[in-house]
Amino acid sequence: MSEPVVRAAERIEILSAETSEGAQELQRRDATNVNELSREVGAVLRLDGLTLDPTSIDMERRDDETMIINMGPSHPSTHGVLRLMLELDGEFVLRTKPVIGYLHTGMEKTGEVLSYIQGATNVTRMDYLSPVINELCYSMAAEKLLGIEVPERAVWIRMMMSELNRISSHLVWMATNGMDLGASSMMIYGLRERELILAFFEKTTGLRLNLNYVRPGGVAADLPDGWQDDVLVICDTIFARTFEYDELLTGQPIFRNRMVGVAPLTAEEALALGVTGPLLRSTGVAWDLRRAMPYLAYDQVEFDVIVGTFGDNFDRYAIRLNEIRESIRIIRQCIDMMPRGDYRSQDPKVTPPPRARIGESMEALIHHFKLFTEGFQVPPGEVYLAVESPRGELGCYMVSDGTAKPYRLHVRAPSFVNLQAVSLLMRGGSMADTITVVSTIDPVMGEVDR
């Protein structure tokens, strides 16, 4: 009679063995060592001199008092395939461990078999919410190795496009964050405004999401005729609507209760964990690579670095909302100051001959063919280059051995590092706060897992 029961139990055992990640998972208290345990409870950072002190951790709690549960990898509020393992005492979170790798597609390995021209199509898929900035980082690293200058117009086009992309990325964040907190109308508004920007991307590059627009040597195409009007409309519309978001969210009591004072982070902790971007700025550290280590032409435009005070969820929200406004300010200056000239380098080493020449010149045709099949060779060397992505410092470490493909391509993904703050931010919070914490950290899993 008991046979079906056994079978079910066996099946559960097989299933859990198949879906288990073993040692990567959150272990029971008695099955883990002191160092790891203190890291998982986030105690490491609260101690002087950053040394481990096991006595400050509540080790006495017996395992039958707490419960370890899985959140994700297919949970709608984890923004992709993030899996959180939570140890709960009733409704309160004792320990958290993010388990990642569910979207790992070996993009760094793929980057080693693609030429420098093709590489931009690869990196654009990492942080799929800010493709332009990924391509920019990759292209600038390759250009630094090549030692070529890009024309002035290409620099300003890149800057304008990356600011547009920053807005669209923050809008998706506003949308999903609103959705996580039950403000589902924010979801619709955020995506509606983003559509304006995506339509402009489509008009300029031919694609909406994975643009492959910024390439080593410049950008793929010049801006379309009448782009000033399009961009102005985008700026005006979104700027006006940020005040609607203010009305909808900023002052709303339910929203404020979920955000204000929840999951605070101190500047010390943020620096120790290597956290960058809005998370770091929310703690009061005015660190923005656009201002601190200017690249492109960010030293020629006026904008403010938005800084928070308390490092809580609400500060992170306010920083992102105000960064949309600052980006609009930069874009308006780009419209006024956009120089004329080439949109890509005229160095024949990296830039194919113009389409019209291919029809009449055999050499131009051969050159074009060689460039797109073999690619161009990059002098040996190694370079680390960082830009400010909507999520923080996006870095690209590139090693070249003199061939047409990078020998090693490493992308320092801001979300990957920021995600380490999860265990610290969630400790002691309630189960409901985990949703807001993951949301305000804003991880893009494509970038975390690469």
Binding positions for other proteins, rule: CB under 8 A = 20-24, 33, 35-36, 38-39, 44-45, 50-51, 100-101, 104, 106, 108-110, 112-113, 144-145, 271-276, 285, 287, 292-293, 380-386, 393, 395, 397, 399, 401, 407-408, 410, 412, 416-417, 419-420, 449-450
Q: Whole-number minimum distance, CB 25 to other proteins, in Å? A: 9
Tokens encoding 318: 């306010």
Q: Whole-number minimum distance, CB 46 to other proteins, in Å? A: 11
d(CA 446, CA 444): 6
| Sheet strand arrangement including 92-99 | 67-71, 83-89, 92-99
With tokens 């610290």, the residue in question is 424
Tokens encoding 171: 């809008």
For residue 72, what are the CA distances in angstroms to 12, 53, 100, 102, 424?
Answer: 18, 31, 10, 10, 19
Which lies closer to other proteins via its Cβ, residue 87 or residue 193? 87
Residue at 223: amino acid letter: L
Which lies closer to other proteins via its Cβ, residue 230 or residue 449? 449
Judge whether 394 and 413 are in contact, CB under 8 Å. yes
Q: Whole-number minimum distance, CB 61 to other proteins, in Å? A: 20
Judge whether 206 and 280 are in contact, CB under 8 Å. no
Buried b (16+ CB within 10 A) or exposed e, 274-313: bbbbbbbbbbebebbbbeeeebbbbeebebebbbbebbbb
Eight-class DSSP state of 2 = -
Q: Whole-number minimum distance, CB 26 to other proteins, in Å? A: 11
Q: Whole-number minimum distance, CB 347 to other proteins, in Å? A: 18
Long-range CB pairs of 28-31 (<8 Å, 24+ gap) are 28/63, 28/68, 29/59, 29/61, 29/63, 29/66, 30/63
Neighbour-count burial of 69, counting CB atoms closer than 10 A to its CB (0-12 exposed, 13-18 middle, 19+ buried): exposed
Which lies closer to other proteins via its Cβ, residue 76 or residue 380? 380
Tokens encoding 83: 């899996």
Which lies closer to other proteins via its Cβ, residue 47 or residue 69? 47
d(CA 189, CA 171): 9
Which lies closer to other proteins via its Cβ, residue 364 or residue 394? 394
Q: Whole-number minimum distance, CB 98 to other proteins, in Å? A: 9
Q: Whole-number minimum distance, CB 423 to other proteins, in Å? A: 10
Q: Whole-number minimum distance, CB 311 to other proteins, in Å? A: 16
Which lies closer to other proteins via its Cβ, residue 168 or residue 423? 423
